[in-house]
Amino acid sequence: MSRSNLDLVNECDGFPYHQVDAIAYAQHVATYYHFQVEGFECTIGYLLPSVAEVLRGLPNWELDDDERTITLIGCNNAPERTVAMTATAMAMKATGHFKVLEKWRNEQYGVYGPRQQLLFDLERSATPLFGLVTYGVHMNAYVKSKAGELKIWIPRRAKTKQTYGGMLDNAVAGGISSGEKPYECLVRESSEEASLQEDIVRKNVKAAGTVTYFYIRDERAGGETNLLQPECQYVYDLELPEDVIPKPNDDEVEQFYLWTVGEVRKALARGEFKPNCAMVMLDFFIRHGIITPENEDDYIEIVSRLHRRLEFPTL
Distance (Å) of CA 60 to CA 1, 69, 74, 101, 173: 48, 14, 6, 20, 34
Q: Is 6 in the site for a second copy (CB under 8 A)?
A: no
d(CA 117, CA 40): 11
Confirm if 193 and 290 have CB atoms less than 8 A apart: no
CB of 164 to a second copy, least distance (A): 24
Q: Is 263 in the site for a second copy (CB under 8 A)?
A: no
CB of 304 to a second copy, least distance (A): 4
d(CA 71, CA 61): 6
Confirm if 114 and 40 have CB atoms less than 8 A apart: yes
Q: Is 203 in the site for a second copy (CB under 8 A)?
A: no
x-marked contacts with a second copy along 211-230 as a string, rule CB under 8 A: -x------------------
x-marked contacts with a second copy along 153-192 as a string, rule CB under 8 A: ----------------------------xxx---------
Determine the interface stretch with a second copy among 48-56, 150-158, 163-171, 300-308 (rule: CB under 8 A): 300-308
Cβ distance to a second copy smaller for residue 216 or 310: 310
Q: Is 17 in the site for a second copy (CB under 8 A)?
A: yes
Determine the interface stretch with a second copy among 103-111, 147-155, 158-166, 209-217 (rule: CB under 8 A): 209-217
Determine the interface stretch with a second copy among 87-95, 216-224, 240-248, 283-291 (rule: CB under 8 A): 283-291
Minimal CA–CA distance to 14: which of 225, 207, 222, 228?
228
Residue 313 per-residue DSSP state: -
d(CA 315, CA 246): 31
Minimal CA–CA distance to 232: which of 309, 303, 311, 135?
135
Distance (Å) of CA 4 to CA 9, 63, 233: 9, 42, 22
Return the residue of 34, 156, 274, 305 that touches a second copy, per CB under 8 A. 305
Q: Is 105 in the site for a second copy (CB under 8 A)?
A: no
d(CA 20, CA 272): 29
Cβ distance to a second copy smaller for residue 11 or 224: 11
Confirm if 222 and 97 have CB atoms less than 8 A apart: no
Mark 262-294 as b/e (b = at least 16 C-beta within 10 Å): eebbebbbebbbbbbbbbbbbbbbbeeebbeee
CB of 88 to a second copy, least distance (A): 26
Determine the interface stretch with a second copy among 58-66, 149-157, 167-175, 284-292 (rule: CB under 8 A): 284-292
Return the residue of 208, 216, 258, 261 that touches a second copy, per CB under 8 A. 208
What amino acid is encoded at 31 in this protein?
Answer: T
Cβ distance to a second copy smaller for residue 252 or 298: 298
Number of residues interacting with a second copy: please give it, by CB under 8 A: 39
Cβ distance to a second copy smaller for residue 59 or 293: 293
Residues that bind a second copy (CB under 8 A): 17-20, 116, 181-183, 206-210, 212, 232, 234, 237, 286-289, 292-294, 297, 299-301, 303-311, 314-315
